[in-house]
Structure 1
Amino acid sequence: MLLQSPWPSRVNDSSTKATHVFITDFLKEKGVSTLDVLVNNAAIGSECFKETFDVNVVGTVAVTWANVNRVLR
């Protein structure tokens, strides 16, 4: 079982074959056949990931919303 541990799963991301096998096994275990979202966050802990996500995603959305009228002109 890939997700029985609370820790992230590890895969050799320099190997295309190893990555393909890992994702195939993961999707099969979850009973799905497609991959809709992929987040690459190697070596980033949960607090750092949240901070990074807030800056890169939430911050970008906030700036977009604040300037949407300028963009639409």
Structure 2
Amino acid sequence: CPVPQVWEGYNAVRCVRAMVGDSGAVGTIRGDLSVHITRNLVHASDSVETAQREIGFWFPRDELVAWDSRDRDNIYGL
């Protein structure tokens, strides 16, 4: 059963793809948890443009909530 999520933040696509990793990359979701190279446990968009298109597959625009993190300044040093 898929559990779609939308993540946002500074370099979100790059950071999520680093966590997802390749199927053989130790310390990543795919590397540590995948059973077979052709059956991905998780999908991550490869660009902001792709993410915007793929978000539309799962969520109507009115279901997405804009919010400001209270830790934003601490995390990003703004």
TM-score, with structure 2 as normaliser:
0.28
* Normalised TM-score (structure 1): 0.29
